[in-house]
Amino acid sequence: MKTRKLGTSSLEVSVVGLGCNNFGVLDLESSRKVVDRAIEAGIALFDTADIYGNRGGSEEQLGQILGPRRKDIVLATKFGMAMDDEADKARASRGYIMGAVEASLKRLCTDWIDLYQLHTPDPKTPLEETLRALDDLVKQGKVRAIGCSNLPAAGINEAAAISSSSGLASFVTAQDEYSLVMRNAERELMPALEANRMSLLPYFPLASGLLTGKYKHGAEIPAGTRYARGTRFSDRYMTEENWKIVGKLNSFCEARGRTLLELSFAWLLAHPCLASVIAGATRPEQIDQNVKAASWELTAEEKSEVDRLSTKQPSP
């Protein structure tokens, strides 16, 4: 498994990461099988959040499963989304962060978090307050590096300026949506990340399954899949424009004896600022498929062609 650095940090991660949002929803033994296979396959980045698994379940399962193997992986988690029903709480304030990190450390059964990420912007709290609190956690050794998620390009630049001028730990990663059918990050976010020497960790890299090949245009949605459980994802991704792109990409893959899943990983990893493709899994076989998919390296000509095929027409 190839590795890449997380921004300017000393952390090295596998180019395929494991998204742990299914843990805490899966039973413990099912989650254990996925974790075991991931570690065996060389996956060294495990990404979770305090809210995953019905508020805490994912972290709790990871804490039970990892044991002494915890030191062999880069463990990433997040804070800032609602862990209770108090709507007005400032979830990036110093007081909140200090409580949230202790709760995550306890659930994860660990003394440190490798990458601690602000899950979503908090308009109630100045960025400087958030960064100073996170800097203290780094100095205390409870956190090794910090990142953000869903922060716009302007926020990325503001945070970098604050950290630089005040000598604070800076965000080394941003976790945002990016895939062959969702390329908005290219407009402003990715240039900001490159300018500030940060790494992108894409979420929904497979468009919640659209880019795995498991769904067919016009066919019935397979039972038990994410799209079958509700319309949130199917309405978002199963658009006519996306199906047209998928059709063109499938033809590109068939001409090369490849799969859409392989192309989805290969195209993402062709971007130097991208550190790891974080994909979830509910079964060990999905781990094997993801690891295999990441072995394809696109040529510059192939990358350019895929860029063209997946470009959407601008809105009127």
- Residue 236: Cβ within 10 Å count: 16
| CA-to-CA separations, 177 to 207, 212, 223, in angstroms, rounded | 9, 16, 25
DSSP three-state, residue 278: strand
Sequence-distant (6+) residues with CB within 8 A of 94 are 129, 130, 132, 133
Q: Are 268 and 310 in contact (CB under 8 A)?
A: no
Give one DSSP letter per residue of 18-84, joined into a string. Answer: EE-TTBTTB-HHHHHHHHHHHHHTT--EEE--TTHHHHHHHHHHHHHHHGGGGGGSEEEEEE-S-SS
HSE (side-chain half, CA atoms, 13 Å) at 313: 5
In degrees and rounded to multiples of 5, residue 79 shows phi and psi of: -135, 165
Q: From CA 144, how far away is CA 130, in angstroms rounded? A: 16
Active site annotation includes 237: no
- Residue 59: Cβ within 10 Å count: 28
List active site positions: 52
